[in-house]
Each structure stands twice: as C-alpha cells, then as structure tokens.
Structure 1
C-alpha cells in the first residue's frame, strides 16, 4: 500500500509541475516548495537497535529548499558588488541550478544552530547533523524542475521528464523480481519520454525523450526505494508514502534539469 500511495503522490506532483511549467515559473516554484516540504516532513532517524535519534531537520531542510528555489527563480540574487558577479549569472537563459550549493551552506548553519538548541544531551551528534544536511541536499535538488522550466527546453523538457517518471514508477509497482522490474521501469521511462517528445511541439527528438525519460525513471525509482527504506515501519502517512513520493520527484529533478540543457545537443535535436 505504501508503494502505491507514494507512486500516486509522485505522479500527482509530476503532473502539477508539468502544468505549472506551461503556466508560469512562479507557479513551478510553488510546486517545488511543496515537494520540499514533503521531504522535510521526513521519518525520524533511528539507530541500528531501532532507537530514535534526536535530529532537528524540518527547518534546515525547508530553508535549504526555499533558498535553492528562490535563487533558481531569481538568479540575479547571486550577483555581488560591481565587478564581482560570477559569470554564471549572465547565462541564466538556459536555466539555473547554481542555487544548490548556497542552499546547502545555509542548511549546515541552520542545522548546527538547531543542534545547539537540543536539550536531550546531543547524542549521536554527527549522525544527527548528517541526516539533516543530507535531506537538505535532496530538497535543494528539487529546484532542478524549476531550472528545467526556465531552460531552452522550456515546459516541454519538464513534460518529457514527468512522463519518464510516471511510466517508470507505474511499472515499478509490478510484483516481479526487483532487478527485472527495475530494468523494465527504466525502459518504460524511455518509452514514455520518447512518446511525449514525439508529440509536443518543439525541436526535441525521440532520442531526447529516450535519454531523459530513462534517466528520470531510473532516479525516480531510486528515490522511492531510498525513501521507503528511510521510512521503515513508520505508521505516519507523511513518512510512509508522502516522503518516498517526494523523494522520487526530488531525485529525478537533476536529470530533468540536465535534459533542459541537452536540447542544444545536435544529436538529440
């Protein structure tokens, strides 16, 4: 049931992101923040014996996600004083993904402050901070959907990625050997991406759809697997199926962003 729930949620989120990409970047940013909130509402960190380890993570993860999203939406914020602006700000017409590193830096600081506010003795400090920072990186990666929507691939690249994600996760639900299912899910993602690339009005080719669709499906499945393992036996809906579903979307985001850049590759046009 948890696999079905997380799959349906991931499909719904991918659909919302696609529709938002055809509407306005601000709407995409709002949808991305929703994904990041679901990542932040993560299951508790536990030890090998099953004991819950205190790990303040919601605020650091959400802050990282919002910072990455805002910088992706408004890359001009990365500009410094006159003469110190990085060259990357001048080429953001192909989409932006440079907000991840600043977001993680902020998350580390917020996570350390959260640790100082703990009143439980700060046991397993390294594991606790590492858990919060790891989730912060995943949340920041979700901004890749926004970067793809702003790239030369535009909304069509987002649609191809969403199709690959959807096809891969649907096939992943089949009750067969997991390795065989994983291969079939990747192939289904390639087929889904190719189908969308062949039907939308753009310069994208079927080859583009195969590459982006397969990659998106692969990482979406990995995201769900990682999310379900981390959720363990949690009975909370947000952790049991909400978190794995959001992890699928976040894991797939960098692939979709890269797809938006691959539009300029002659072989894939």
Structure 2
C-alpha cells in the first residue's frame, strides 16, 4: 500500500504545481515547490548496508538547498551581480535552475558541516551521514526546475504536459505484475499522456513534443519513487515511508520540466 500512497501523494503535488502554474503568480509556484522540498527535507534517516539507521542532520541542509535553488530559479538575476555588469551575464543566468543548483548545494554543504560540528553524540559515521545529507539536499534543489519551467515560453502548458505524464506513469507503476513489464507500461502511459495533453491545450505544443518529453518524465518519476522507497526501507507502512518517495519523484522530475521548457520553442514542439 505504501507505493499506492506515494503515487497518490505525488499526483496531488503534481496537480498543485499545475494549478499554480496557470495562475501566472510565480510566488504561488514557488510555494508549491517549497512544499515538495519540505517533504524531501523531512525524509527519514536512511539505512546502511546492515539495515541500521544513519543518524545525522538532514533537515536544515535540505531546506537551505531548497530555498536557495527556488529563489535563484524565480529570480535568476540575483546572480548577475551589481548594476553596470554586462547584459550577457544576465542572459547567462536566465536558465535559473541550471546555475541555481550549484550555489544551493554549496550552501547545503556548509550548513551540513556546521550541523555536524554542533553534534554532541560523538558524530558516529560522520562521512556517511554528511554524504546522505548532501544527497538529500541535491534532490531538494532539483525540485526548483518546476519554477524555471513556468518561466519558460508556454510554461503552464509545459508543466501540464510533464506533470500529467509523470502522474499517469506513477499510477500505472502501482499495477501488480512483473516489475519490468509494469515499468514498460508506465513509460508507455507517460508517452500517451504526453501526446494527448497538448491536444487539449492551445496550439503552442504538439503531440510530438509530448512523445519526446512524456517518456522521460515517466522514467524519472518512477526511478524517483524507487529511490525514495529504498531510502525509507523498513518504514514503508508509516507516513514518512511514503511521503518522501512521493516528494522525491516530483522533485527529480523538476529538471525534466526545466529542459522541456527549453524545448518548447524547438521545431517539433
């Protein structure tokens, strides 16, 4: 049941992203993305190879990474420097998420190291716990791709196509049967959703665009849930066992949405 709960929660989060994208209010989009990043930051402690929970700070580094990356995605001009800088610098940072992830992860590493210094439990497995905290921060930072997707040409259309493809793929992933066969069906469902959704929207995007973007979003969404369930191993019947897989699937599809926004003006789109 935990897989079903995770998929349903992912669909709710994806629907929220679509609704906020169509409001044309970037603040609402950022709020929806931050909700996803908070769920990622609240992930339970990962288990090591023996099944033991690795203790260590995780919440603060992931939250910092999420806030920084979302801020840069919403306002990429913050990296352009002071007034008087060359216009090319502003153009360089317009991609938002691609340059926002790096400072976000750098800030998360700093916060993680400070948090480790403040520990009073002897800091067991220091390297492993720090690495897990940074990994969680990267997942949270990648969620800001949804913000930059909304800022792209035809952003709401792009977000709708990617979200529908990812959501349908996650629902199909819950079907019983051989996991390889079900995974193939999930990718096919993502392609079908990606091709059909543009027909319901305006003429900005074409079914060919969905056929390119949909399967990619489906694969990444399924892999994100698998990663989240592996991280939450042993707690699959608790809320934390399906909350993080749901958020991880949505966050990892963020870069796909960003790239889809860049492809929206391609000839086949």
TM superposition score category, shorter chain reference: over 0.9
Q: Distance between the aligned counterparts of 1:147 and 1:122, measured in 2?
A: 38
The TM-score normalised by the length of structure 2 is 0.94
The Cα of 1:92 is off from its aligned counterpart by 6.2
Distance verdict in 2 for CA 1:111–1:84, change over 3 Å: farther
Report what 1:6 is aligned to: 6
Report what 2:167 is aligned to: 166
CA offsets per residue over residues 11-55 of structure 1, 9 Å max, x none?
000000000000111101000000000000111133322222222
Q: Distance between the aligned counterparts of 1:93 and 1:102, measured in 2?
A: 15
CA offsets per residue over residues 91-140 of structure 1, 9 Å max, x none?
66666532111100000000000000111111111111100001101100
Q: Distance between the aligned counterparts of 2:4 and 2:87, measured in 1?
A: 44
Greater mean alpha carbon deviation, residues 150-159 or residues 230-239: 230-239
The Cα of 1:213 is off from its aligned counterpart by 1.1
Report what 2:153 is aligned to: 152
Distance verdict in 2 for CA 1:56–1:94, change over 3 Å: closer
CA offsets per residue over residues 232-259 of structure 1, 9 Å max, x none?
1116734211100001101111111100
CA contact (8 A) 2:80 2:89 kept: no
| Structure 2 gap ranges (5+) | none
CA offsets per residue over residues 217-241 of structure 1, 9 Å max, x none?
1100000001011101116734211
| Structure 1 gap ranges (5+) | none
Q: Distance between the aligned counterparts of 1:99 and 1:202, measured in 2?
A: 31
Report what 1:215 is aligned to: 216
Matched residues, number: 268
CA contact (8 A) 1:93 1:151 kept: no
